[in-house]
Amino acid sequence: MRILVLGGTWFVGRTLVEAITDAGHRVTLFNRGRTAARLPDEAEAVHGDRESVEDLRRLANLGPWDAVIDVAGVVPAAVRDAAKVLAPVTGRYVFVSTVSVYRDWPREAVAEESPLHQGDPDTRPPAWKWGTGVYGPLKAGAEIAVHRELGDERTTILRPGVILGPYEYSGRLTWWLTRAARGGRILAPGEPDRFIRPIDARDLAAFTLHLIVSGVSGAFNVAGPAGRDTFGAMLDACLAATGATGAAVWVDDDWLTANGVKQWTELPLWRTATGTWAIDTTRAEAEGLICRPIRATVRDTWAWMHSGDIPVEHERQATHGIAPDREAALLTAWDLAGHEPAGNA
Ligand SMILES: NC(=O)c1ccc[n+]([C@@H]2O[C@H](COP(=O)([O-])OP(=O)(O)OC[C@H]3O[C@@H](n4cnc5c(N)ncnc54)[C@H](OP(=O)(O)O)[C@@H]3O)[C@@H](O)[C@H]2O)c1
């Protein structure tokens, strides 16, 4: 097959490009060429700005493709323009969306039929930033735009929860690995046996390619399996991968919250809202989604962090992790409140 990836050099896109070439398909990447990622030799790179309809038309002249994957589109009008220009030169259009499109996530459990944020397919906010609450509504608008330009039969939407793995630039697992490597007493949130369900970008990529090759339309939630991986297993895997001699000190959710620790960011992957990991993935699993265990993701991410590859710099990195002195002060306060000073890992 011949597949066009809009983006393709940071994280999910880069993983997709590798999956496509590994499977023997041909891939074209379209991006501005600002990121010096090591890419497979077979990948054909085309440079341009996706905000420019002129650049998109130039790209369309290089078609046709069996499928286009818009990996990182967020602004609905920009996603719309790409879908409109590329619709005549592609069989299928795949849009990488997010579980954040659900109106009630993370407060409630979500399935593909759950209500979405109200999205406007034609909006183009002049500037938007992470953490401002507009990401979900923008992605919802972008989904509508793709459906409108391509029609339901040629549209495939992926709605992942948290994505981890080599090339991650958000700073979630990479932060926990760095923290584990530092050793000592590690502030660990809640209970070690709390289930978490991140998806490895490589499993997301394999599933995406499978949907393209099989010609499957529709929307799919994508997350790790329910009831398998735990926060404790993730942290143990971080300590094992880094060879550090640290010990997790599991601190009560309510105590952390009362002490102002920010969920999801200061302690990445920690969130107590009921629906956080309650993502119905029955549809994707029935279609063939397979997810590797968290320890494999942790091990390979650590190996990548020491491979000499340069991670993409991104504003999101700065939003993740707790400062060492704040962590130490919280642990002391926890001890003084009458808890086990030696850690309970
Ligand atoms: N991380 C998570 O936990 C998570 C969870 C759920 C969903 N998601 C979704 O997963 C996707 C992650 O995507 P990614 O960032 O890893 O994708 P990616 O395709 O690996 O990287 C983004 C690409 O976009 C290109 N780009 C940026 N601005 C551009 C422009 N104006 N014109 C042309 N190209 C441009 C970048 O290259 P240049 O800079 O060189 O142009 C880069 O190649 C996103 O859709 C995100 O919403 C993520």
pLDDT in tens, 29-79: 999 999 988 899 999 999 999 999 999 999 999 999 999 999 999 999 999
Report pLDDT for 341. 59
Name the residue at shortest CA distance from atom 37 of ligand 1: 31
Domain 173-196+228-274+294-336, CATH class in plain words: alpha beta
Q: Are 86 and 149 in contact (CB under 8 A)?
A: no
Report pLDDT for 210. 98
Q: What is the DSSP letter of 126?
A: S
- Residues 327 and 81: their CA atoms lie apart, in Å, by 46
Name the residue at shortest CA distance from atom 34 of ligand 1: 31
Phi, psi of 190 (to 5 degrees): 75, -130
- What integer best gives the mean pLDDT of the chain? 95
Phi, psi of 83 (to 5 degrees): -65, -40
- Phi-psi bin for 171: left (phi > 0), alpha (psi -120 to 50), beta? left
Report pLDDT for 148. 98
Domain assignments of the chain as residue spans, ordered by start: 2-160, 173-196+228-274+294-336
Is 136's C-beta closer than 6 angstroms to any atom of ligand 1?
A: no
Report pLDDT for 37. 82
Is 231's C-beta closer than 6 angstroms to any atom of ligand 1?
A: no
Grouping H, G, I as helix, E, B as strand and the rest as coil, residue 14 is helix
**Structure tokens, 30:** 């379209």
Q: Which amino acid is at 16?
A: L
Q: Is the peptide bond before 106 cis (omega within 30 degrees of 0)?
A: yes
Is 162's C-beta closer than 6 angstroms to any atom of ligand 1?
A: yes
pLDDT in tens, 11-25: 999 999 999 999 999
Name the residue at shortest CA distance from atom 33 of ligand 1: 31
- How many helices (H) and strands (E) the chain has is answered by 11, 13
The list of the chain residues with pLDDT below 70 reads 340-345
Phi, psi of 114 (to 5 degrees): -60, 155
Give the architecture-level CATH label for domain 2-160. Answer: 3-Layer(aba) Sandwich (3.40)
**Structure tokens, 308:** 């000499």
CA distance from start to end of the chain:
49
Is 10's C-beta closer than 6 angstroms to any atom of ligand 1?
A: yes
Is 114's C-beta closer than 6 angstroms to any atom of ligand 1?
A: no
Report pLDDT for 340. 64
Is 7's C-beta closer than 6 angstroms to any atom of ligand 1?
A: yes
Of the candidates 161, 157, 162, the one whose C-alpha atom is nearest the C-alpha of residue 140 is 157
Is 15's C-beta closer than 6 angstroms to any atom of ligand 1?
A: no
Report pLDDT for 318. 80
Measured in angstroms, how far is the CA atom of residue 231 from the centroid of ligand 1?
A: 27
Report pLDDT for 310. 80
- Phi-psi bin for 112: left (phi > 0), alpha (psi -120 to 50), beta? alpha
DSSP H or E stretch at residue 219: strand 218-222
Ligand 1 binding pocket mutation candidate from 96, 99, 159, 176 (most atoms within 8 A of CB): 96
**Structure tokens, 83:** 């879908």
Ligand 1 binding pocket mutation candidate from 3, 10, 138 (most atoms within 8 A of CB): 10
Is 320's C-beta closer than 6 angstroms to any atom of ligand 1?
A: no
Ligand 1 binding pocket mutation candidate from 4, 6, 12 (most atoms within 8 A of CB): 12
Ligand 1 binding pocket mutation candidate from 3, 17, 27, 31 (most atoms within 8 A of CB): 31
- Residues 66 and 13: their CA atoms lie apart, in Å, by 17
- Residues 244 and 238: their CA atoms lie apart, in Å, by 8
| H helix runs in the chain, sequence order | 12-22, 53-60, 76-86, 135-150, 173-182, 201-214, 231-242, 253-258, 282-287, 294-305, 324-336
Contacts of 270 (CB under 8 A, 6+ apart): 189, 190, 231, 256, 263, 264
Q: Are 282 and 217 in contact (CB under 8 A)?
A: no
- Residues 191 and 64: their CA atoms lie apart, in Å, by 51
Contacts of 301 (CB under 8 A, 6+ apart): 164, 165, 166, 168, 173, 174, 177
Is 72's C-beta closer than 6 angstroms to any atom of ligand 1?
A: yes
